Amino acid sequence: MPPRPRRNRPTGQSQLNEAAQLADQLQAAGYTKRDIARIINRDPSLVSQFYTKHKGAAFVPALQQVLAAVQMGGITDLPELTALAARYTHRRTTASGTRARVRSKAVLITPTGTGTGRVAAQAIASGSSRLRPLIAEAARQGLRLAFTVRLAKTGYLHPSGSRTDSPGIRRDVIQRADHTEERAYGSAQTGGHDAADFARRVDAAGGDVTAAVHQWLVETGRIRPDAHILHLEVRTWRPR
């Protein structure tokens, strides 16, 4: 089936703003929108808004330098391109010269440390970025963390209900009619996981929460390396 056309994207190169044109050239060089977002240290949704909302003017100098480095300097390493872009990317400042506050979704963690975030297929495919602030704030507050994943049954290495897989599973294993299972890893009863450790894992994965959780599940011998996470939920609480 051919890809569905984007509704809000203008047709024709001349109708794209400069940021979108530079992003197109980087994509032609083999980089994805997600790569470009990492290079300019922003959320992937912002790169999409270069096309749909004509944003990105502030990133033009950085993108120009990155494109020149790729096309003429032969630089392809993402961390090196990110460091280059950082020299030309600056947060807005207020009239008094202080750093402007950036609008973002609030991360709701109660005084007891309780917080919950859930993502499904579309967000998982883009790295579950909306869960990253929750994990980062939980790490800052020294909280504990647990998560629930849903996979195809064949993706797990241990049978349903195995205490080797997830002792103290919350509400046991949830089996669904589509041959998938939800399994929980960590709880207040078992102590859960150190949020700071998971925050470091997420940072090491370039902010990709999906990849960080998947890597942990593979490293600890719980899922097959080719298994795909279909649903992800993160929960936090304050240790007693």
Same domain, 81 and 122: no
Chain centroid to Cα 20, Å, comes to 22
163 plus 82 within the same structural domain: no
| Burial class of residue 80, CB neighbours in 10 A (0-12, 13-18, 19+) | middle
- Is 94 inside any structural domain? no
pLDDT of residue 236: 93
Count of structural domains within the chain: 2
Question: Among the three residues 67, 86, 105, which one is the final residue of a domain in this structure?
Answer: 86
Q: Are residues 120 and 81 in the same domain?
A: no
pLDDT at 190: 79
Residues 121, 201: one domain?
Answer: yes
Shared domain check, 154 and 60: no
Judgement on whether residues 51 and 151 belong to the same structural domain of the protein:
no
Gap between the Cα atoms of 117 and 223, Å rounded:
22
Alpha helices in the chain (DSSP H): 18-28, 33-39, 44-52, 60-71, 78-86, 121-125, 132-140, 195-204, 209-219
For residue 91, being part of any structural domain is answered with no
Q: What's the pLDDT score for residue 101?
A: 52
Say if CB 173 and CB 162 are below 8 A apart. no
Burial of 7 (0-12, 13-18, 19+ CB in 10 A): exposed
Q: Which amino acid is at 161?
A: G
> Among all chains, which residue has been given the structure tokens 């490293």?
219
Mapped onto helix, strand or coil, the DSSP state of residue 231 is: strand
Question: What are the distances in angstroms from CA 30 to CA 4, 64, 96?
Answer: 21, 16, 41
**Which residue, of 39, 65, 86, is where some domain finishes?**
86
67 and 159 inside one domain: no
Q: Domain end: 86, 103, 125, which one? A: 86
Residue 75, domain extent: 13-86
Q: Report how far residue 99's alpha carbon sits from residue 208's, in angstroms, rounded to the nearest whole number.
A: 26
221 and 133 inside one domain: yes
Q: Are residues 143 and 228 in the same domain?
A: yes
Q: 126 with 71, same domain?
A: no
Q: Which of the 8 DSSP states describes residue 41?
A: T
Digitized pLDDT (tens) for each residue of the chain, 240 residues in all: 444 444 444 444 458 899 999 999 999 999 999 899 889 988 888 899 999 988 888 899 999 999 988 888 788 888 889 888 888 876 555 555 555 554 445 577 888 888 888 888 778 877 888 899 999 999 999 999 999 899 999 999 988 777 778 654 444 466 777 889 888 888 877 788 999 999 999 999 989 999 999 999 999 999 999 999 999 999 999 988
Alpha-carbon Rg of the chain, whole angstroms?
21
Domain identity same for 75 and 119:
no
> 95 and 114 in contact (C-beta within 8 Å)?
no
Say yes or no: 133 and 69 in one domain. Answer: no
Whether 98 is in a domain gets the answer: no
* Residue 20 covered by a domain: yes
DSSP string, 168-188: T-TTS-EE-TTSEEEEEE--T
pLDDT value at residue 100: 52
Report yes or no on 186 lying in a domain.
yes
The verdict on residue 96 lying in a domain is no
Rounded Cα–Cα distance for residues 200 and 48 (Å): 27
User: Which two tokens mark 177?
Assistant: 């009619």
Report the sign of the C-alpha dihedral through residues 208, 211, 215, 217, in that order.
positive
Answer whether residue 6 is part of any domain.
no
Q: Tell whether 100 is covered by a domain.
A: no
